[in-house]
Chain A
Amino acid sequence: MNTTPIDKLAETDLEEIRNERVSFERTPDMPTEHMILNFGPQHPATHGTLHMVLELDGEKVAGATPHLGYLHTGFEKLGEYRSYNQFVTLTDRMNYLSPLCNNIGYTHAVEKLMDIEITPRCRNIRVALAELSRLADHLLCVGTAALDIGAFTAFLYGFRAREVLYDLFEAVCGTRLTTSYTRVGGLLRDVPENFAEMARESVEETLRATSEIDRLLTHNRIWRDRTEGVGVLSAEDAVAWGATGPVLRASGVDWDIRKNEPYLGYEAYDFDIPIGRNGDVYDRYLVRMEEIRQSAKIVRQAVEDLPSGPVNADEEHAVLPEKSEVYESMESLIYHFKMTMEGHGPTPPVGEVYAATEAPNGELGFFIVSDGSREPYRIRVRPPSFVNFSLFPMLIRGHMLSDVVAILGSLNVIAGELDR
């Protein structure tokens, strides 16, 4: 049998194959029937419960219809019946890969509504934890994206480093997943004494894993063939469809909320925003890898000189007083009661606010309408996954069936956040 040796497959041939994929059209003179394939709800590559109906022409995807809602939990409805601090626990369960970023994004919105200035120590701790969560999220995203395509090793390297990060979260919050670490105007409690040391160690571990993944994947022929030119998103489309985060930046749009609308004092940190060129799966991977390195830089700066002082703002109507004071001072005891009794707690003025933070997946926004009572009148989460995933039917059209998992992995769709 005559076969083409692998080294004879020139670069131009590959180019042709890629072009053919993108300019896919049905051949009019060859009548074929489209096949309907259900992808999910139980499929390992959906990383949650996600259902897509794919219309296949041979092995090419002619159309995709996502069906969401399998993990719909009604967080927005539930939020209208919970006090402002109780809602923090619900934010954990949205993007469960980086719950701390959700905690921080949410309390940031409430603090904006109530006009509370948080303390410098609290600000630095929040920045450090947000970036450590970003590391964990990106490690998992890159790892599982590679796992879905068939590179198991990268996933294991990422998970080993992620374990160190989760040990840190456990030491700080007491839990690994449902962190619920922030409170309106401050934090649940101060970080442990060796926080800076632990943060530096976990950053080292992450960077080590990142360079291992980098050596495994970045110049890997199979990885590049599977990802380059797949799921190309132009900058114009990315903007028009409202894509954010690494998906937007991989398409070459230089926009990051941490730089463009700095919050938590991000303007004081020295870091760069990586930008992609082609907007394909490979560029999204490269952007995430570089973001890991940049976030590592931010963590080091944030814990370098961690300001001393309290972690809670001096706002007796919004923040619980120190426990030691509750035992000794009458006023603190009253404020403690006023904060914890049913029907009491932080009460923002009448108004509405939209506040966005840069979560690992993109813009995580909270829109809160307050009627001046103890519960939000309306609370809306603008989830980055939801908007990014709406691009999927457009990105997959004309690609091969096996590219479904590649594109899905690069969008990093988190079902908990998608369905809320």
Chain B
Amino acid sequence: MENQEDRETEDVGGPESEPGPVTTRIRARFGDASVSTGNAVGCESVIAERDALLPFMTFLRDDPELSFGYLVDVTAVDRLPLDQEIRFAVVYQLYSYKHNRRFSVSVPVPEADPRIGSVVSVWPGANWLEREVYDMYGIVFEGHPDLRRILMPDDFGSYPLRKDYPLHGKGERDNFVF
């Protein structure tokens, strides 16, 4: 943890460089304050708000200048040790076949109210990806058609990829009942 100071100065916000074409397009539609620049390497990225996520994602898919028709991945990051105000971030990786362009959207989700809109109605492929995030982090995707655990057993009590879940588990293996 020797790099604690560097991390905080670099991680929160980051220097506002020239926004890319996708960010510009989003700001023209939703206003300048709608998204801030993310810190992904090698591709454009933004940090968006979780309110009105669905219209935002639908716009990313349907706008002819963006047309992100392919949802590559949905995952989450637990930022508990990073001392950030908002604990979780749900990260969407998008790709546009038309423009051969990748894009990443990060959406902060607070610990007290871990909810976010489901994008299954926008990209049906989000179904299992969102279930995995729910399984591993306990983030609830509202409007998901079938939000069940996917990799862990149904009666597993914890969310294993959270940073406060120990690597060796909480004794589930020792107390396993057939």
Mask, B1-31, CB within 8 Å of A = 1, is 1110011001100000000000000000000
User: Do B127 and A390 have beta carbons less than 8 Å apart?
Assistant: yes
* Contact among B43, B71, B150, B165 with A68 in the assembled complex (CB-CB below 8 Å): B150
B93 to A354, Cβ gap below 8 A? yes
Decide if A382 touches B93 in the complex (CB within 8 Å): yes
Q: Which residues of A contact B11 (CB under 8 A)?
A: 350, 371
Report whether A242 and B70 are in contact in the complex, using a CB–CB cutoff of 8 Å.
Answer: yes
Which residues between 27 and 58 of chain B lie within 8 Å of chain A, taking CB atoms?
38-43, 45
| Pairwise interchain contact A419-B151, C-beta atoms closer than 8 A | yes
Chain A residues near B87: list those with CB within 8 A.
none
Q: In the complex, A243 Cα to B38 Cα: how many Å? A: 27
Tell me if B160 counts as interface (CB < 8 A to partner A): yes
Given known contacts A241-B124, A367-B91, A69 and B150 CB-to-CB distance under 8 angstroms: yes
Q: Interface-forming stretch among A38-46, A76-84, A140-148, A181-189?
A: A76-84
Q: Would you give the 0/1 interface string for A98-135, flagging 1 where the beta carbon is closer than 8 Å to chain B?
A: 00000000000000110100000000000000000000
Which residues of the partner chain B approach A420 to less than 8 Å between Cβ atoms?
151
Known contacts being A350-B11, A352-B40, A387-B125, is A69 close to B73, with CB within 8 Å? no
Taking CB as reference atom, which chain B residue is nearest A71? B151
> Contacts of A80 on B, CB cut-off 8 Å?
167
Alpha-carbon distance between A350 and B41 when the two chains are bound, in angstroms: 10
Please give the number of chain A residues whose Cβ is less than 8 angstroms from any Cβ of chain B in the complex. 45
Question: Contact: B97 with A352, CB < 8 Å?
Answer: no
Name the interface residues of B103-162: CB closer than 8 Å to any CB of A.
Answer: 104, 123-125, 127-129, 132, 136, 150-153, 160-161
Find out whether the CB atom of A69 lies under 8 angstroms from the CB atom of B160: no
B7 touching A380, Cβ below 8 Å: no
**Which residues in A have their C-beta under 8 angstroms from that of B127?**
390
Within the complex, what minimum Cβ distance (angstroms) separates A236 from chain B? 9
A260 contacts the other chain (CB 8 A)? yes
Chain A residues with CB under 8 Å of chain B are: 68-69, 72, 74, 76-78, 80-81, 112-113, 115, 237, 239-243, 253, 255, 260-261, 350-356, 363, 365, 367, 369, 371-373, 377-378, 380, 382, 386-387, 390, 419-420
**Residues of B near any A CB (own CB < 8 A):** 1-3, 6-7, 10-11, 38-43, 45, 69-73, 75, 77-78, 82, 91, 93, 97, 100, 102, 104, 123-125, 127-129, 132, 136, 150-153, 160-161, 165, 167
Of the A-B pairs whose beta carbons lie under 8 Å apart in the complex, a sample of 23, sorted by A's number, is: A68-B151, A69-B150, A72-B151, A77-B160, A77-B161, A237-B124, A239-B70, A242-B70, A242-B125, A253-B97, A261-B102, A350-B39, A351-B41, A353-B42, A354-B43, A354-B102, A356-B72, A367-B75, A372-B6, A380-B75, A386-B132, A387-B128, A390-B125
